[in-house]
Amino acid sequence: MKIIYHPDFIGSYCSDPAASEGRVEAILDVIQDRFDIMKPSPASREDIAACHSDYHIEHIRHLGLYDIAALAAGGAILAAETGLTEPAFGLIRPPGHHASFSSAWGFCFFSNMAIAISKLKREEKIGKAFVLDIDLHFGDGTMNILGSTGYVKILNPTAHDRAGYLREVEGALPEDADIIGISAGFDHHEADWGGLLTTSDYREIGRLVREKSRMAGGGCFAILEGGYNHRVLGHNVLALLEGLDS
């Protein structure tokens, strides 16, 4: 199990909850001594442009956020590439699942998941992919970019009870995907905005993903999206990673 992380992800790059000081540290405090850490490089302009318009890229540059957003996208790429051979987690930010081809909202700037998956596909490292988005909020950006490609299936679970949520995840996970990517938002936790899932539920989701990826002979990885209660965030991340590493 590998953790993809860069020191530049610490600190506040803008005034939103995803950039709040202490968020990454809350995760590192729990997981950093348990797994090997790999440092990413920024995604190339070419890789970003495969999923975003020139207008959008220049808009993010104008906002002064290009460097940190490109580094997050590069972290997602490294997590996906590593995930082909062993589970990996991208401890990255800004998050990305609300970033569409020419626009973004919800604390997102570039679509980290889409950039990573599309790079694997362009380099013929995968044929089919599955994206499981467990964030509280619908991953409209991921859907906008990857939803009509034909080689990616995406699930944003909609069940409103814990048991139903886990059944929905288990029933949708494919047995033929070359890679399963988790948009790992933790704001569905019972002590966060969503108030639904327990810490053990994240462990079970990780276990289900690893099990299905093994059955397919494929890989799996996760990248950080939401999750704003620093008191529980690191423990929820650890639970997911323990499931993926099982």
Burial of 44 (0-12, 13-18, 19+ CB in 10 A): middle
> What is the pTM for the complete model shown?
0.97
* pLDDT above 90 as % of the chain: 95
86-98 confidence digits (pLDDT tens): 999 999 999 999 9
- Ranges of each domain in the chain: 2-244
**Whole-number Cα distances in Å, 107 to 1, 92, 98:** 28, 13, 8
* Residues recognised as catalytic: 98
Residue 12: the pLDDT is 84
Q: Which two tokens stand for residue 175?
A: 């047995």
pLDDT at 48 over 90: yes
Using the predicted structure, report yes or no on whether residue 7 has a pLDDT greater than 90.
yes
CB atoms within 10 A of CB 162: 16
Segment 103-153, tens digit of pLDDT:
999 999 999 999 999 999 999 999 999 999 999 999 999 999 999 999 999
* pLDDT class of 11 with cuts at 50, 70, 90: confident
What's the one-letter identity of residue 152? V
CB neighbour list of residue 68: distance below 8 Å, 6 or more residues apart: 8, 9, 13, 93, 94
pLDDT tens, position by position, 176-233 = 999 999 999 999 999 999 999 999 999 999 999 999 999 999 999 999 999 999 999 9
Is the pLDDT at 19 greater than 90, yes or no? no
Quick one: pLDDT at residue 212?
97
Cα gap 241→207, rounded to integer Å: 9
Task: Name residues whose C-beta falls within 8 Å of residue 168's C-beta, 6 or more positions apart in sequence.
Answer: 155, 157, 158, 159
State the first-to-last Cα distance of the chain, in angstroms, to the nearest integer. 10
- Cβ atoms of 94 and 107 within 8 Å: the answer is yes
| The pLDDT of residue 16 | 84
What is the pLDDT, as a whole number, of residue 18? Answer: 85
Is the CATH number of domain 2-244 3.40.50.1820? Answer: no
Whether 15 has a pLDDT exceeding 90, the answer reads no
DSSP state of 99: B
Average pLDDT over residues 13-39: 92
pLDDT tens, 69-80? 999 999 999 999
